Amino acid sequence: MATGKINVSVENIFPLIKKFLYSDHEIFLRELISNATDATLKLKHLARLGEANVEYGNPVIEVKIDKDNGTLHVIDQGIGMTKEEVEKYINEVAFSGAEEFLAKYKDSAKDSGIIGHFGLGFYSAFMVANKVEILTKSHKDEPAAHWVCKGTTEFVLEEAEKKEHGTEIILHINEDDKEFLEENRIQELLVKYNKFMPIPIKFGTREETLPLPDDAKEDAKPETKTVDNIINNPEPAWTKQPADLEEKDYNEFYRELYPMQFEDPLFHIHLNVDYPFNLTGILYFPRMSKDMNIQKDKIQLYQNQVFVTDNVEGIVPEFLTMLRGVIDSPDIPLNVSRSYLQADGAVKKISSYITRKVADKLKSLFNNNREDFEKKWDDIKIVIEYGMLTEDKFFEKADKFALYPTTDGEYFTYSELEEKIKENQTDKDGNLVILYASNQDEQHSYIEAAKDKGYKVLLLDSPIVSHLLQKLENSKEKISFVRVDSDHVDNLIKKDDEKISKLSDEEKEKLKGDFEKVIPAEKYTIQMEAMDSNAAPLIITQPEFMRRMKEMQQTGGGGMFGMGNMPEMYNLVVNTNHELINTILNTKTEKKQQRLIKQSLDLARLSQNLLKGEELTAFIKRSFEMVK
């Protein structure tokens, strides 16, 4: 028997481990199973090289609870350790056994996917245990070793009896951490962190119903047998080659990741790269809602099939955090700060690769089946538009497949749209004016007026549209986006053919004064405009710049203009060529004139959904009186 002190640089290593090594104590189980997996994969590698003295077989990692003794056991059938290796890898915390293993077998192990740490990963056990034992036997023909430590720098190491190669870690659970002796809690952690580990993980047993034979009687009861409860899928879809998978395989894996999702994803992107970094994974486009925040944190990050986190900001471009799926890479540093991750060179390359891969896939889908792509546009546009807004490289690529739908259900790329409208929607200064609506029902009358002029009206209704339009205007020459209700249709695209007013300048000035007596100046700017006589007598509009700045401020950005705190201001456009306006001008009694102005204003407000509450009730009552 040997005793000694663990070779660490500070005496209080264990209090530090217990407090600060990981924020969640539950991580200890992930670390121990990760080590057990490494040990098993190493044996597999040595067996393949003919350097192991034992058969690899079909190893499992077993997790057991012994409530009577207050212990939790993690047992592997891997490479095991000699007494000298325990001394080296466990007592000398600064060493990493995995690093030395890889150095020795670097040529043959380069592509074997072996990673892992002994050292601090193992010592995370002391976050939940007041005593930890290691019972281990090497694959070499040497005696087993038994190591015991009670959470101080003192340890005991001696020879022991153990028939099979591999390692058993025994944790004597602290009084404060008894939750880790509960089956439900351990099952939960195994599913959370180890659901896709590459070695089968056994946790207890379960009853399995056997199928009835073909000649069974009607009242025959099926038999059951006890089988190992394997909690993980060692070969998840992302570890396979795309050529080996069909659409149903991808959809089944999606269900495995998200059991509560009842709709199939729209499509998937299989990631697989081994240079200049290693990364595999599958990303899914689900059906999207317009609420971007609800969608986030659905991508799961793994390191060699060990779950790490579902907070992937800084690793995945922000616009893709609304997708779902898995990313697995040994090149992403773990258990470090988010700011460190964002500055890490490998992470930046991974982020750029994912962006490019998604853009290429979207372009391929668009080119191969445009009709299907158009059908899915409403469900995927929020991701694409957000990507165009936040990632310049994606913006450039998206120009080939981003769609601009019209209120008539047509879909154009930007170049197609430009070609379609340039003849009719270029103003007198040579600028291309692209009209759009954000709500087809609320802006119906304005849309119809524009269509009567032969204009195309886009339907752009995502919550970030104001920001995106600003970027499009800045990136392309001589274009502007104008919402269809921001002015009278004749003013949306300024042409040389101005309408002549039926009223003289003096009559317009008098009429404006009459309106100003009734209409509050703090809410409306009154404009006298000569329009078609069959156009509406009064039209309420909100200037494009003012409204867009307010919308940008509400969704983040544009705040520098202070628009969010300004009262709502509208233009009231008075059609001086309409018969009703002429009647209002020539009405003899002031009371009747003001009643006509008030009623006309309320009708204009009603068309813009601005008449509500008490004012709407009064308008309805007044209208019925007028009908009588």
Q: Reduced to 3 states, what is the DSSP secondary structure of residue 326?
A: strand
Distance of CA 448 to the CA centre of its chain: 37
- How many CA atoms lie less than 13 Å away from 531 in the CB half-sphere? 24
Q: Are 293 and 261 contacting, i.e. CB atoms less than 8 angstroms apart?
A: no
Going by C-alpha positions, the residue among 527, 587, 593, 540 that lies closest to residue 568 is 540
Peptide bond into 234 cis (omega under 30): no
Residue 293 marked ligand-binding? no
Length of the chain (residues):
628
Residue 49: what residue type? L
Residue 439 marked ligand-binding? no
Residue 155: what residue type? F
The CA distance from 26 to 35, in Å, is 15
Please return the burial class of 176, using the count of CB atoms within 10 Å of its CB with bins 0-12, 13-18 and 19+.
exposed
User: Any long-range contacts for 63-70 (C-beta under 8 Å, 24+ apart)?
Assistant: 63/29, 63/33, 63/186, 63/190, 63/201, 63/202, 63/203, 64/203, 64/204, 65/181, 65/182, 65/183, 65/186, 67/181, 69/172, 70/172, 70/173, 70/178, 70/181
To which H or E segment does residue 542 belong? none
State the Cα torsion 582-583-586-587 to the nearest 10°: -160
Instruction: Map tokens 């080590």 to a residue.
Output: 35
Enter the tokens of residue 110.
């380069």
Residue 97 marked ligand-binding? yes
Going by C-alpha positions, the residue among 88, 108, 106 that lies closest to residue 97 is 88
| 113: alpha, beta or left? (left if phi > 0; alpha if psi -120 to 50) | left
Residue 31 marked ligand-binding? yes
Distance of CA 199 to the CA centre of its chain: 29
Question: DSSP secondary-structure letter at 499?
Answer: P
Residue 87 marked ligand-binding? no
The CA distance from 438 to 551, in Å, is 12
Q: Are 607 and 442 contacting, i.e. CB atoms less than 8 angstroms apart?
A: no
Alpha helices in 90-134 (DSSP H): 97-104, 106-109, 120-123
> What string of DSSP letters covers 516-529?
HHHS-TTTEEEEEE
The CA distance from 310 to 303, in Å, is 12
Question: DSSP secondary-structure letter at 28?
Answer: H
The CA distance from 61 to 200, in Å, is 6
Enter the tokens of residue 380.
């995927």
Q: Reduced to 3 states, what is the DSSP secondary structure of residue 564?
A: helix
Residue 185 marked ligand-binding? no
The CA distance from 169 to 287, in Å, is 45
Residue 563 marked ligand-binding? no
Enter the tokens of residue 419.
């070609």
The CA distance from 160 to 151, in Å, is 21
The CA distance from 601 to 579, in Å, is 15
Residue 626 marked ligand-binding? no
- How many CA atoms lie less than 13 Å away from 273 in the CB half-sphere? 18
Binding residue positions? 31, 35, 76, 81, 96-97, 167, 338
The binding site for ATP consists of 31, 35, 76, 81, 96-97, 167, 338
